[in-house]
A and B are shown apart, each in its own frame.
Chain A
Amino acid sequence: MKHFSYERVSSPMEAAKAFERTPGARYLAGGTNLIDLMKLDIEAPQHLVDINRVGLDAIEHTSDGGLRIGALARNSDVATDERVRRDYPVLARALVSGASGQLRNRATVGGNLLQRTRCVYFYSGDLPCNKRQPGSGCAALEGISRGLAVIGGSEACIATHPSDMAVALRALDAVVETILPDGSKRALPIAELHVLPGQTPHIETVLAPGELITAIVLPKPIGGAHRYLKLRDRASYAFANVSIALIAHFDGPRLGSLRVAFGGLAPKPWRVEAAESGISSASDAANQIVDVALSGAHPTKQNEFKLSLARRALSALLMEERHRFDDNT
């Protein structure tokens, strides 16, 4: 591991100032992804600003009935919070479907959003990767692409965003709050946080240098049936081939409104709002949604299975929810 200097800060503003003051700085939160990448020299910050004690770990109500989750709240604490389990179960489900018990105790929600891809070529220092080394090429295009993106990628990069939590946040229309070194603050809809790779896959978010995520804000609860389905190559502790965050409202036996976000398919949580409107028949909803949401997909031979898997998974989820409704009436 490359040498770095280290400092511990006690407030978000102090953190942002420390970042601005020191070239090559990075924020260090749970460390579950950054430290791993530093061991492999994929990340080599010259300075670490430890933000674990800046006091951003509270989960509190917002004035309009939503919930503000401090960026340093640990994944397991968010999944356990009574209000999250009751009002935003899709988020609790997504959180506990990711990583292991040990990692969830340590990983923060801010860090979860900013974690890097698990593409094997990003992790292989001796092979080309435009995300790791801009301009070096993409070994995944002609390589092992089973787990990689089927939509939203480019000829420069087909890495997926690995977060489960972010997929649920996308379905919930969460907002990401940040602070910049100049002291200004902004609030970004989760849909706008991550950017598609295009020709610059090393740029993954719209955050400015030193911009620190301070909180994730969940809007007022919208009710409905919440589901998070994660399909992977083993039963636990694996990244998704396909995941679906679903929030469905039934109007009598008919499907009212619904929201669908996909994970494992794209460089960011994938949701196309236009695909969700005009759906009335639950029996064909999955086909209608997938046809629109995943139109323009460019799968490889190895990962084209994800398209039909996503379609069938959504169909199964909607059927289960429909039956649940029937059973309850």
Chain B
Amino acid sequence: MSIDIKSEVTASAGTLDVCFTVNGIKHRLEVDPRMTLLDALRDVLGLTGTKKGCDQGQCGACTVLVGGRRMNSCLSFAVMHEGDEIRTIEGLASQSTLHPMQASFVKHDGLQCGYCTPGQICSAIGALDELNRGVPSHVSEDLNQIAPSDEEIRERMSGNICRCAAYPNIVAAIREVMERQP
């Protein structure tokens, strides 16, 4: 009986089913097609580490990793992510060990109020992966031989705004992880 009621509600409200994995856990959600991935993470799954800043793709606070690639979760509908592997700030640390990027942000004091930090960290992880994969940037002098530098970090992180302007420390935190990479 309860199942019947639920399906009736589903039909009248026009919701849709979607399955995706967040931080290694598979979820099946019933969502309004208008619900963004950001709202699904925060309001349905309770993963409030990912932040809503501008909700227009301009600030980067909502950055998550989808299939290992960084994207703005506010500019994507949850229903578009059927089968996707999503990683949020909550899924970076293993047990009690911080992800190297998290540890580096702590070490270099790469934040003040902290609101943009989950997005900064997810974006930085994505940015370094792009650097390793040879994705060029606007400041790459040679498109085929990219030299890691502070300038590269700043350019690649331009989609993440920090209103406290912790930028020098954010760059230092990312640089340390970048330099430790093989």
Chain A interface residues toward B at CB < 8 A: 1, 3-6, 8, 28, 31-32, 35-36, 39, 48, 50, 52, 76, 79-80, 85-86, 89, 92-93, 96-97, 99-103, 105-106, 230, 235-237
Q: Report the minimal beta-carbon distance from A97 to chain B, rounded to whole angstroms.
A: 5
Q: Report the minimal beta-carbon distance from B29 to chain A, rounded to whole angstroms.
A: 14
Smallest Cβ-Cβ distance to B154: which chain A residue: A236
Q: Which residues of B contact A105 (CB under 8 A)?
A: 69-71, 126
The complex places the Cα of A79 from the Cα of B134 at a distance, in Å, of 10
Q: Which residues of B contact A96 (CB under 8 A)?
A: 136-138, 140
Partner pick for A3 among B34, B75, B134, CB 8 A cutoff: B34
Partner pick for B76 among A3, A86, A101, A106, CB 8 A cutoff: A106
Interface hits, B13-61 → A, CB 8 Å: 14, 16, 32-34, 36, 55-57, 60
Could you give 25 example pairs across A and B, Cβ below 8 Å?
A3-B14, A3-B32, A3-B33, A8-B79, A32-B72, A36-B56, A52-B80, A76-B135, A79-B136, A80-B133, A80-B134, A80-B136, A92-B136, A96-B136, A100-B159, A100-B160, A102-B60, A102-B70, A103-B72, A103-B75, A106-B71, A236-B138, A236-B158, A237-B158, A237-B159
Indicate if B63 sits at the interface (CB-CB under 8 A): yes
CB atoms of A6 and B158 under 8 A apart: no
CB atoms of A31 and B135 under 8 A apart: no
Q: Which residues of A contact B34 (CB under 8 A)?
A: 1, 3-4
The complex places the Cα of A224 from the Cα of B139 at a distance, in Å, of 21
**Contact flag A32-B69 (CB < 8 Å), given A39-B55, A52-B80, A100-B159:** no
Q: Which residues of A contact B137 (CB under 8 A)?
A: 96, 101
Among B57, B63, B126, max chain A CB count under 10 A is at B57
Indicate if B144 sits at the interface (CB-CB under 8 A): yes
CB atoms of A36 and B75 under 8 A apart: yes
CB atoms of B33 and A48 under 8 A apart: yes
Smallest Cβ-Cβ distance to A1: which chain B residue: B34
Smallest Cβ-Cβ distance to A105: which chain B residue: B69
CB atoms of B79 and A35 under 8 A apart: no
Among B72, B123, B154, max chain A CB count under 10 A is at B72
CB atoms of B33 and A32 under 8 A apart: no
Indicate if B109 sits at the interface (CB-CB under 8 A): no
Q: Which residues of A contact B14 (CB under 8 A)?
A: 3, 5
Residues 140-182 of chain B, each 1 if its beta carbon lies under 8 Å from chain A, else 0: 1001100000000011111110000000000000000000000
Q: Give the B interface residue count (CB, 8 A).
A: 41
Given A3-B14, A48-B33, A76-B135, output 8 extra A-B contacts at Cβ < 8 Å.
Answer: A1-B34, A4-B33, A31-B77, A52-B80, A85-B143, A85-B144, A99-B159, A237-B159
A-B contacts at CB below 8 angstroms, number: 108
Interface hits, B78-101 → A, CB 8 Å: 79-80, 82
Indicate if B127 sits at the interface (CB-CB under 8 A): yes
The complex places the Cα of A52 from the Cα of B69 at a distance, in Å, of 16
Q: Which residues of B contact A4 (CB under 8 A)?
A: 33-34
Q: Which A-B residue pairs are the 9 nearest by beta carbons? A: A100-B159, A236-B158, A6-B33, A237-B158, A85-B143, A80-B135, A105-B69, A106-B71, A102-B72
The complex places the Cα of A196 from the Cα of B141 at a distance, in Å, of 35
**Contact flag A100-B60 (CB < 8 Å), given A28-B80, A76-B135:** yes
CB atoms of A102 and B71 under 8 A apart: yes
Smallest Cβ-Cβ distance to B60: which chain A residue: A102
**Contact flag A35-B33 (CB < 8 Å), given A76-B130, A105-B69, A236-B138:** no
Smallest Cβ-Cβ distance to B157: which chain A residue: A101
Smallest Cβ-Cβ distance to A38: which chain B residue: B34
The complex places the Cα of A28 from the Cα of B75 at a distance, in Å, of 12
The complex places the Cα of A103 from the Cα of B126 at a distance, in Å, of 12
The complex places the Cα of A100 from the Cα of B138 at a distance, in Å, of 10
Q: Report the minimal beta-carbon distance from A101 to chain B, rounded to whole angstroms.
A: 5
Among A5, A35, A48, A235, max chain B CB count under 10 A is at A35
Among B32, B137, B154, max chain A CB count under 10 A is at B137
The complex places the Cα of A7 from the Cα of B60 at a distance, in Å, of 28
Q: Which residues of B contact A106 (CB under 8 A)?
A: 71-72, 75-76
CB atoms of A101 and B126 under 8 A apart: yes
Q: Report the minimal beta-carbon distance from A86 to chain B, rounded to whole angstroms.
A: 7
Among B56, B75, B133, B158, max chain A CB count under 10 A is at B75
CB atoms of A31 and B136 under 8 A apart: no
The complex places the Cα of A102 from the Cα of B134 at a distance, in Å, of 16
